[in-house]
Amino acid sequence: MFAIRSAVIPVLASFVFAGCTHLPPTQPVKPEMLGALQPVEVKVGITQPELYAAFVRSNAAAGGAAACGAVPGLGILLAAACGGAMGAVDASINATRAKAAEESVRPLKDELVEVNFDQLMRESVTQSLQSVPRMQLADVAVTKTVTTEAYEKTFKASTSNAVMFINLDYHLSSDFSTLEVSARGLIYARGAEARKAAKLPAALSATPSEPALALQNSSYRSTIIYTAKHPAASDDAAKNIDAWKADNARLLKVALLDGIAQSTALLAADLQSKHPVYAPATANVDTPTGMKANLVSQRNTGKLLRYPNGSLYFDAALANVAAAAPAVVAAPVAAPVVAPAPDSAVQAVVDTAAK
């Protein structure tokens, strides 16, 4: 329910929620509402222990089952058996591909062994959220148990006025050319005053038809995607791995630290935004997904786009980011995670929304 999917189309990576799944994945929060939600307990969900690589999943079963069912004279049970067999083939293929991806990415994992992603992300989230006016943090903690049941339990046991869940994911693309950092944030009102401001029943209740953390009960929703493609990336996955590994994987470490800083700073800026600032009439930027997006801002270290569903997508110019990065990046544990300066693309989210 709350895990970020490793989708083929990164911008669609999101949580899976119960109830009202037709609701948009993003929803801004008004300043007065944000004030009513304070203080906020923050849970940072990071299920993965280390970097992984995405892989193209086999999906033959869906089409195969339909084809089996369309064969004249093939009974329902035989068609179902045919589809089930294809599903087993999919599972076998996916297991093989996952193992190959794991083996291929291992050299890069070894280079990042000293990078404490959980700690760096927690510090960056705390620093960024503390910069948001009206924001009062009761606690910021990393959790490795990212399940519906665990989150429901956390929400009900909290003594804060609201609980914010931020789920994070970081991985390399299936061709090993691009690092992606994804952040999905939600805020749920819990205290009586906060729930009144959110126009929710004062008493907490959860039924099979509407869990406490059903999407329609959230006061804020955001999706942020950060991508950094290696400057020397090619169509050869093996060469891309070698390129990332060069110079003690310096560019990979630069990209990961920049992804942490950018994603958390964008989250803080989005909390202050009056979006949707996506405007179909001015959406003239082509995206890898085939959609048109709004260009929020552009600078030498990358460009920021707003997708039709409200998601923010930061496409980093890694060569320029690396040129400006301090030498201490080679030892990332000691490197402070600092949010981008106010004149960066992050500030443009707030500026654009205010117009």
Q: What is the mean pLDDT of residues 266-278?
A: 80
Q: How buried is 215 (Cβ within 10 angstroms: 0-12 exposed, 13-18 middle, 19+ buried)?
A: buried
Within a domain: residue 120? yes
Rounded Cα–Cα distance for residues 11 and 311 (Å):
7
181 with 135, same domain: the answer is yes
Does position 84 have pLDDT exceeding 70, yes or no? no
124 with 190, same domain: the answer is yes
pTM, rounded to two decimals: 0.80
Does position 69 have pLDDT exceeding 80, yes or no? no
Q: What is the mean pLDDT of residues 330-345?
A: 41
| Res 341: pLDDT | 41
Residue 328 carries which DSSP code? G
40 with 118, same domain: the answer is yes
Residue 19 carries which DSSP code? S
How many residues does the structure list for the chain? 355
At 190, list the tokens.
């819990």
120 with 99, same domain: the answer is no
With beta carbons less than 8 A apart as the criterion, state whether 164 and 42 touch: yes
Looking at per-residue pLDDT, the higher value among 290 and 194 belongs to 194
Residue with tokens 């995405």: 54
**What residue numbers bound the domain in which 84 lies?**
60-105
Q: How far is CA 208 from CA 20, 162, 205, 212, 214, in A?
A: 13, 22, 10, 10, 10
Q: Write the single-letter amino acid at 73.
A: G
317 with 228, same domain: the answer is yes
Within a domain: residue 2? no
According to DSSP, the residues that pair with 280 across neighbouring strands are none
264 with 349, same domain: the answer is yes
Q: How far is CA 118 from CA 133, 224, 267, 285, 350, in A?
A: 25, 18, 17, 34, 27
318 with 341, same domain: the answer is yes
With beta carbons less than 8 A apart as the criterion, state whether 328 and 250 touch: no
175 with 81, same domain: the answer is no
98 with 116, same domain: the answer is no
Domain count for the chain: 2
Q: Write the single-letter amino acid at 258.
A: D
**Average pLDDT across the chain, whole number:** 79
Q: How many other CB atoms are there within 10 angstroms of residue 296's CB atom?
A: 25
Task: Identify the three-state secondary structure at position 94.
Answer: helix
Q: How many other CB atoms are there within 10 angstroms of residue 128's CB atom?
A: 25
Does position 121 have pLDDT exceeding 90, yes or no? yes
Does position 282 have pLDDT exceeding 60, yes or no? yes
